[in-house]
Amino acid sequence: MKKYVILIVIISSILIALAFFFFAPAKFEFKKGKTIELNYGEKYKEPGFKVTKFGKDYTEKVKIENKINFKKIGEYEIIYKVKINGITFKDKRIVKVIDKEKPIITLNGEKNITICPQTEYKEEGYKAVDDYDKDITSKVKTTKQDNKIIYYVKDSSGNKSQIIRTITKEDKTAPNITLSGNKAITLYLGSTWKESGYKAIDNCDNDITSNVVISGSVNTNKIGSYKITYTVKDKSGNQTIVERIVKIINKPISTNSSSTKKGVIYLTFDDGPNEGTTNIILDILKEEGVKATFFVTNKGPDYLIKREYNEGHTVALHTASHNYATVYKSVNDYYNDLFKVQDRVKRITGQTSKIIRFPGGSSNTISKRYSKGIMTTLTKDVVNKGYKYYDWNIDSDDAGSTTTSTGVYNNVIKYLSKNRSNMILMHDIKPHTRDALKNIIRYGKNNGYTFEKITMSTPMITHGVNN
């Protein structure tokens, strides 16, 4: 009996040992722990693990079940399974997908805004976007604190954001005074001065024309330069001062003056010089012993202008660009263009010419497109500055519809008169003018006319101003 008991004990021990060997749990070791936090949108990367049983490594036999949705916040399980001796062992790791990103608030308009002292800020709008909750603009709360507006928002994960807009009430912008008419006006002696008008607009106070204070006066019976000053202040004390200059000058000699020479022909050429026409015209003038006047531009070669000067002709000023939109944009733009061609002539000849012809003549109307009243101002102002301008009383029409030398010749001789000076408009860039010139000169000589060039002592022959 005793032997049986011992046998049973031995067998039981063996069975227990076998059961322990087969059913004892495998050991799972997880790198970075059994719980891992994963940022929303971040893909899971296995940090590693190890599975052993009784010192033997079974890691390579492990199968992993991963059902993580990294696009959705929550807790997910990763199951690790391994089969050892026909028995399956498993463990798990918890992965928490979380959102730690703060929402972003963007403001319409500027963060730091300056408005007029008498006005209230009108909200320009804002937007709040969260990486997980998307558009959460409706959750934004605003509070006012002194001169600040605080915009606050919290996403579903408790992440908070705020942004501040600063509102400053002040006016540092001076009003704007706009003068009707030109800022520089030229009147003839004895004429009447009348204020053209003005307007004052402020960025905060709007129309403050009634606040403008005018100082200064004009004596139209005395030659000189007079300053009219317009001053205005807004409610914040910002001040603007604008000046208008009124020049009183003598009236120039008119076309019908008795001082003009009768029976004289002034041959005048515009728009040159030009190779192939101007040089031939100079040859003809030299051959016939006649002096002429060339109203030059900034086009063509320098040597032809030098030749005009050296052979005793008058080199006068027409325009640098001959672009009406440039020349007649403003009084200042006219002078900028004039000075360029004047500088060219001085560089070539060494002389400062002050004899001019306006592009299109003083009677042109095309200048109205670019600056209303500019010719009225310029015709007076150039004389006041010491220039003399010349129009014409005979037009060869060589720059118009006439395209033959016979046509140019007939247009000139048909209007010649012994009872006045004859100021002839031609263009030395036109071949038909070049070809008509010799016959025009010989007609003049054969019929008792004389030829002269324009000088500073030549009475001005001018048109009526239409702008």
Bridge partners (DSSP) listed for residue 264:
450
Q: Give me Rg for the CA atoms of the chain.
A: 48
Going by DSSP bridges, is the β-strand pair 104-107/126-130 parallel, antiparallel, or unpaired?
antiparallel
Burial class (CB in 10 A: 0-12, 13-18, 19+), 368: middle
Closest Cα to residue 264, out of 445, 436, 457, 463?
445
Measure Cα distances from 99 to 74, 132, 232, 278 in Å: 10, 7, 60, 85
Closest Cα to residue 151, out of 160, 137, 162?
162
User: Whole-angstrom Cα distance, residue 274 to residue 293?
Assistant: 15
Identified catalytic residue from 155, 270, 395, 398:
270
Closest Cα to residue 196, out of 240, 242, 233, 239?
242
Going by DSSP bridges, is the β-strand pair 56-57/213-215 parallel, antiparallel, or unpaired?
unpaired
- 3-state SS, 441-458, equals HHHHHHCCCEECCCCCCC
Dihedral angle computed from the Cα positions of residues 305, 309, 313 and 316, in that order, rounded to the nearest 10 degrees: 60
Q: Tell me if residue 270 is catalytic.
A: yes
Dihedral angle computed from the Cα positions of residues 451, 457, 458 and 462, in that order, rounded to the nearest 10 degrees: 160
Q: Tell me if residue 313 is catalytic.
A: no
Closest Cα to residue 270, out of 255, 256, 281, 286?
281
Contact 151, 175 (CB under 8 A): no
Identified catalytic residue from 313, 318, 427, 432:
427
Helices then strands, counting H and E runs in the chain, come out as: 8, 29
| Dihedral-angle region of residue 268 (phi above 0 means left; psi in -120 to 50 means alpha; beta otherwise) | beta
Active site residues: 270, 427
